[in-house]
Amino acid sequence: MTKFENYLRDERNTRAPSEAVKETSFCPALSNLLNGVGAELNPKARVVINQRIFS
- Domain count of the fold of the chain: 1
**CA distances from residue 55 to 40, 50, 52 in whole angstroms, order as listed:** 34, 16, 10
pLDDT at 33 (0 to 100): 93
Domain that holds residue 22: 1-55
Question: For 11-50, what is each residue's pLDDT tens digit?
Answer: 888 877 776 676 677 788 889 999 999 999 999 999 988 7
pLDDT at 19 (0 to 100): 67
Residue 51 has pLDDT above 80, yes or no: no
